[in-house]
Chain A
Amino acid sequence: MKFLRGGAWLPPTVFGAAALGLWELLLWATDPEGFVLPRPSEIAVALGENISEVQMASRVTGFIILSGLAGGVVLGVVAALIVTRFRTANETLTPLAVAINAIPIIALAPLFNNWLGITSPRSNQAVVVLLVFFPVFINTARGLTEVGDEQVELMQSYAASDWRIMRTVRIPNALPFFFTALRLVASLAVIAAIVVEYFGGRQDTLGNIITQNAQFTRYDVAWAAVVAGSIVGIALYFAALILERLVTGRYVRATAAG
């Protein structure tokens, strides 16, 4: 796979190393007072010292993220497949979903806490599901419907069934749209899950480690948890990217060759 080759990795690695080095050096040289951004080495040490706690929390938060992500993606895709089968439903519900997507869904978290129990992870999952659902639904529905008329007409000229058209034209057309949404929600879900933990849920989560340590000005530990959250987010983003290459890579290559 091309994106796993060295050429693609070199510039970001060089840039990242340079930025980290500069950050470390700058803070080490100036040592500003009241500065809340610890040096990378301090964060690394804090991460090492609190590794078991952070690991546990990453697992708890990670489960909420993954389950919420899975639920939202499945619901979004299924809803898109159903809704786009019916013209009126599609023309009614898709603009509605676009409008609903404009509301700050994270602000609904306190309501979910009351409905599903403030200490239960269920309410956190529900918010993540809702947050993931809308981008996935909107993009997939667009991909399923924004198909070239001539492609559909060609299939109809072969007397292909609706299901056949769905499989050979609509779903392949929707894949890039779907994966764009998947990459977006992969990092969105992480942020949402951590933020929602501020409103309630279990106590042993990344969100809680961040807020509690920030309160007691143990910024290095808070940052260590932030780094852990980022690692989860980057891992999910790459998982989405690799999935995309595996699924669409082949037909993109085939088109390029032909």
Chain B
Amino acid sequence: MSTPEPQGAPGAAAEELVLQIAGLEKTFNPDRPNAVTAISGLDLAVRPREFVSIIGPSGCGKSTLLRLVGGLIEPTAGELSVNGRSAQEARLARDYGMVFQAAGLLDWRSAIRNVELPLELMGWSKSRRRARAVEMLKLVDLGGFDSHYPSELSGGMQQRVAIARALSFEPALLLMDEPFGALDEMTREHMQAELLKIWRETATTVIFITHSIPEAVFLSTRVAVMSARPARIAAEIPIELPERTPLVRDTEEFFRSVSRVRRTLRSVEAT
């Protein structure tokens, strides 16, 4: 895969971009004394098949950004388009697969029926969605756990079901909000490798929110560093690694990238 260039100028034609954000602003409770501007003047562009991590100090509005992209909340000002459509239109066209920190599986549905949920809502036939769900569970290495209920699965397995669910309908954009935040270190590294494998196999574009620097470096083709209050993208760092296997974590390139992101983050926090 070709290493993407740093996204300095969003001058590329809009059709080539999966996501294009310019001058985005979000103010909660506008016209009220308790108004809070969470995001202001935020620009970001994402090309197809990119894996972009967004990292920043906690409470800086990363999740707000993801919800804006996902069309769950409306921006106050600015432009935001997904494949040339507004976020709302893209949501209604089922362009998004979302994964949150909490797996958010429905307790009363078995693993396979959880994966089937979005397909059910989209009116797929029973046989077709069953076949797809089986395939997706295999993709996340959970073949054979079809009939298990969430309460019978570990945290990592639940999160994998959530990922299978998000990918089941082949969304244009996978939006992940600290999906591995609640997992232990071992499971986390395993899940990261798994996610990379899935990303390669499915050719999905991913926007990944995290506050772990090594995680961002290991997964991403590009790391976007956010500044706090009001949030904007302060810097974008392309990540070039010789390979994307767990062993890369011990290489010099990996360390160099990690420390570069860390220095950037520090300089952003200082201002």
On whether A and B touch (CB less than 8 Å), the answer reads: no
